């Protein structure tokens, strides 16, 4: 005779292979689950049902499903109704779906929204499906989708799984929400080195380098010994926080205190620390003192930092060295290239259960247009001066200033300010790189409106708050 414990154990096995015989109705675990009036077994019924998805079990599955449907007692129906009411905020509750949908395949096909809709209908997600769902969320950088998957994960048997929780920390960081990442991290019952590394990397990528360095100190107090990857995360946090001296001290203590020989990636990390802070002369000197020849990625970093900080001479020297190290770059430049496809700037304002799209090529004459115009006047009073170098059209100066005023990210922010509660953070997703003028303008906007404005362009997250950006004006 099967028991509740044996049913749970059978349902929680990671391999869902149906028996080779066709007499599935005689499975003791399944029979006990289907005949029991206990509402607590509803989840395990669905899970055992999903285990019968092999070709040999297809004939039995409809019978099992009908048996479950007809033998659903009143207390269990009430339990299922409560479950459905908890998912009312999710899309797709109006249509029934089969319980044997392959969620992993849907994710691999890029149908994340459909997969989440199926889960809201009661389709069970196993360990692999949750991993695929979180990977898809990370690729899309959609915080709304991550939170929906996280909600399902919290109510599943995998809620405390260390691997899935680490994925959550990583995905929340990729979506620019370190608050959510920290909540997951703090609730983890076990944290290995990779867990700490993911948190530190996320802090560095989202402009919270000080928090990343604080995590490093906490990790050491717990007795965890730093390794090569740890110091890569620490150097990235120093670059984000702009702590040059601290970054150099950590680089030196790698060898002296922990016996770790720095690799090329650690030297590149120091270049990032120096270059982000604008210490270009020190960065060039550091390259010359390296014990091995600097590589192409290193000189590309030097060139980009010089370009960002306006050092034309260093940029030219780095470009010459790049050509010397990679002669193929010359032939590539000499080859005729097809005309590049031009993409129009598109911005999406992510609101609750809705995403609004804005394009700079469209004509806006509504409230958002008026709000952008009003903001422009406030920004000028706060010291904003339009940088018309970013307008490439051959038009007069006044027309250039007007063109900058209605860039798509500014229209998206303007609409968000009038359509969301005061002080609420706005999240904007942009398909192209944010221009320098809009970057300066949004910094001033964040100070005027008193909100955090998060803009994700095709390079990174920009967290604008109190007139400052998390990227420290380098992106």
Interval 137-155: pLDDT, tens: 999 888 999 999 999 999 9
**Could you count the other beta carbons within 10 Å of the beta carbon of residue 265?**
13
Provide the 3-class DSSP secondary structure of residue 295.
coil
For the chain, what is the domain count? 2
Looking at per-residue pLDDT, the higher value among 204 and 90 belongs to 204
Asked if 453 and 464 touch (Cβ cutoff 8 Å), the reply is yes
Which pLDDT tens digit goes with each residue over 25-57?
Answer: 445 544 544 454 444 444 444 555 455 444 444
pLDDT at 337 over 80: no
Which pLDDT tens digit goes with each residue over 47-106?
Answer: 554 554 444 444 444 444 444 444 444 433 433 444 444 444 444 444 455 556 789 999
Which pLDDT tens digit goes with each residue over 116-132?
Answer: 999 988 888 999 999 99
Mean pLDDT of the chain: 78
293-297 mean pLDDT: 82
Rg (CA), the chain: 28
Q: Residue 18 falls within a domain, yes or no?
A: yes
Q: Residue 158 falls within a domain, yes or no?
A: no
> Which residues have a Cβ under 8 Å from the Cβ of 454 and sit 6 or more positions away?
176, 425, 426, 427, 428, 461, 462, 463, 464
How buried is 419 (Cβ within 10 angstroms: 0-12 exposed, 13-18 middle, 19+ buried)?
Answer: middle
Q: Residue 113 falls within a domain, yes or no?
A: no
| pLDDT reported for residue 41 | 44
Q: Residue 119 falls within a domain, yes or no?
A: no
Q: Which domain holds residue 368?
A: 346-469
Q: Residue 437 falls within a domain, yes or no?
A: yes
Asked if 226 and 220 touch (Cβ cutoff 8 Å), the reply is yes
End residue of a domain, out of 86, 103, 133: 86
| Alpha carbon distance 139, 131 (integer Å) | 12
Which pLDDT tens digit goes with each residue over 406-451?
Answer: 888 888 898 889 888 888 889 988 888 888 889 999 999 999 999 9
End residue of a domain, out of 43, 60, 86: 86
End residue of a domain, out of 86, 107, 134: 86
Q: Which residue has the tokens 């229209």?
A: 411
Q: Residue 145 falls within a domain, yes or no?
A: no
Question: How many residues belong to the chain?
Answer: 475
> Which residues have a Cβ under 8 Å from the Cβ of 412 and sit 6 or more positions away?
347, 348, 349, 356, 358, 428
Q: Residue 219 falls within a domain, yes or no?
A: no
Q: How far is CA 197 from CA 146, 170, 399, 463, in A?
A: 20, 10, 48, 21
Looking at per-residue pLDDT, the higher value among 404 and 63 belongs to 404
Q: Residue 447 falls within a domain, yes or no?
A: yes
- Nearest CA among 420, 415, 428 for reference residue 367: 415
H/E stretch holding 320:
helix 312-325
Phi, psi (degrees; rounded to nearest 5) at 238: -65, -40
The pTM assigned to this predicted structure is 0.70
């Amino acid at each position: 005779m099967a028991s509740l414990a044996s049913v749970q154990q059978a349902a929680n096995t990671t391999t869902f292979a149906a028996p080779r015989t066709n007499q599935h109705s005689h499975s003791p675990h399944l029979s006990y689950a289907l005949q029991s009036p206990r509402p607590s077994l509803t989840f395990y019924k669905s899970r055992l049902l999903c285990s019968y998805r092999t070709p040999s079990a297809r004939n039995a599955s409809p019978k099992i499903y009908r048996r479950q449907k007809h033998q659903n007692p009143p207390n269990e129906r009430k339990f299922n109704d409560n479950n459905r009411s908890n998912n009312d905020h999710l899309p797709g509750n109006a249509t029934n779906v089969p319980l044997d949908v392959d969620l992993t395949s849907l994710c691999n096909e890029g149908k994340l929204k459909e997969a989440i809709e199926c889960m809201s209908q009661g389709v069970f997600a196993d360990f692999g499906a949750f991993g695929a769902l979180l990977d898809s969320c990370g690729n899309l950088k959609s915080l709304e989708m991550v939170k929906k998957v996280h909600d399902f994960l919290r109510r599943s048997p995998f809620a405390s799984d260390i691997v899935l929780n680490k994925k959550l920390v990583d995905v929340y960081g990729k979506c620019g929400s370190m608050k959510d990442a920290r909540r997951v991290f703090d609730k983890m019952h076990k944290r290995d080195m990779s867990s700490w590394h993911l948190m530190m990397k996320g802090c560095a990528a989202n402009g919270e380098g000080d928090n990343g360095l604080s995590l490093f100190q906490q990790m050491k107090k717990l007795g965890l010994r730093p390794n090569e990857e740890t110091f890569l995360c620490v150097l990235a946090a120093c670059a984000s926080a702009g702590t040059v001296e601290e970054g150099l001290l950590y680089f030196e203590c790698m060898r002296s205190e922990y016996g770790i020989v720095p690799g090329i990636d650690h030297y590149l990390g120091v270049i990032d620390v120096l270059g982000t802070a604008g210490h270009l002369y020190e960065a060039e000197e550091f390259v010359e003192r390296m014990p091995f020849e600097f590589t192409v990625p290193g000189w590309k970093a030097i060139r980009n930092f010089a370009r960002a900080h306006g050092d034309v001479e260093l940029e030219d020297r780095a470009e010459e060295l790049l050509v010397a190290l990679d002669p193929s770059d010359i032939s590539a430049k000499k080859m005729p290239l097809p005309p590049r496809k031009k993409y129009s700037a598109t911005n999406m304002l992510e609101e609750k259960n809705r995403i609004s799209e804005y394009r700079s090529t469209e004509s806006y004459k509504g409230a958002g247009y008026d709000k952008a115009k009003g903001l422009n006047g406030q920004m000028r009073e706060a010291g904003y001066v339009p940088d018309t170098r970013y307008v490439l059209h051959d038009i007069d100066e006044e027309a250039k200033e007007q063109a900058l005023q209605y860039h798509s990210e500014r229209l998206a922010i303007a609409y968000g300010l009038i359509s969301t509660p005061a002080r609420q953070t706005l999240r904007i997703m942009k398909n192209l790189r944010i221009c320098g003028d809009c970057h300066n303008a949004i910094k001033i906007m964040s100070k005027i409106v008193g909100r955090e404005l998060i803009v994700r362009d095709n390079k990174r997250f920009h967290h604008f708050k109190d007139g400052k950006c998390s990227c420290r004006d380098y992106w």
